[in-house]
Amino acid sequence: MTKKDKTKTNKQKKQSAISTKQKILYGLSVVVILVPLLLLGYIYLSTKENAGIPTVGSRFDNELDPAITEEQVDQIKQSLTFDEAEHVEVNLKSATVRVTIDLEDKAGNKTVTSVMNEAYDKVTKVLPVETYFTNKDETKMYDLEVSVYNFIPEEDNTDGWVYKTKIKNASAKKAFTDVLSKPKNQDVADTIEKEQDSIK
């Protein structure tokens, strides 16, 4: 074999070695690019396939046991009759029993408080607090809100307005009363009113 032939064979070996390395690199590049593209394609197709199908479930699974029935809600509605009441509403939404009582406009603070407490007692007679409105070890239960007011103020006239809510959260030990018609901090309320008046 001549020197020329040896050089030619060495060149061919080097070229074939380089082309093999290039093929491996190209192959790896194709795999690196294809894998994410295939993954994105799969995600796109699966989301397109499931478009318009609602996800069904309940955040109250394995909770609210025993459940409050429509019959019990109707029983509460029938029991909540007051001479001073113009409108009574009872609903059960998002694991909260809400009672709203609109009294006649002339009803004062004592009447609102009395009706609120009486309504709370009537609800808890049908649905005992320990059973329905108190969390158990592994089970979350209902909340109860009894709201009573005499009128909804128009414009800035709040003279004689009384709005109270008695709330029993399932996580709390006792019910508490929140007075919505009176500011919790009068100084802060006065400051805000002055600022609003200066803007007008």
**pLDDT at residue 53 above 60?**
yes
Averaged over 52-80, what is the pLDDT?
80
Measured CA to CA, the distance from residue 193 to residue 38 in angstroms comes to 61
9 pLDDT band, cuts 50/70/90, is low
Measured CA to CA, the distance from residue 122 to residue 117 in angstroms comes to 9
Nearest-Å Rg of the Cα atoms of the chain is 36
Strands 85-93 and 96-103, by their bridges, are antiparallel
Averaged over 42-62, what is the pLDDT?
70
CB 104 within 8 A of CB 150: yes
Averaged over 30-44, what is the pLDDT?
88
What single string gives the DSSP state of each residue in 12-78?
HHHHHHHHHHHHHHHHHHHHHHHHHHHHHHHHHHHHHHTTTPPPP--TTTT-SSSPPPHHHHHHHHH
Averaged over 22-48, what is the pLDDT?
85
55 pLDDT band, cuts 50/70/90, is low
| Token pair belonging to 72 | 């019990």
Render pLDDT for 68-110 as a digit per residue (tens, 0 to 9): 999 999 999 999 999 999 999 999 998 999 999 999 999 999 9
Q: What percent of the chain has pLDDT above 90?
A: 50
Render pLDDT for 167-188 as a digit per residue (tens, 0 to 9): 999 999 999 999 988 888 878 8
| Token pair belonging to 62 | 């394995």
Q: Side chain identity at 21, as an amino acid letter?
A: K
Mean pLDDT, the chain, integer = 85
Go through 22-39 and write b for each residue having 16 or more CB atoms within 10 A of its CB, e for each that does not: eeeeeeeeeeeeeeeeee
Measured CA to CA, the distance from residue 125 to residue 35 in angstroms comes to 64
pTM over 0.85, yes/no: no
**pLDDT value of position 18:** 62
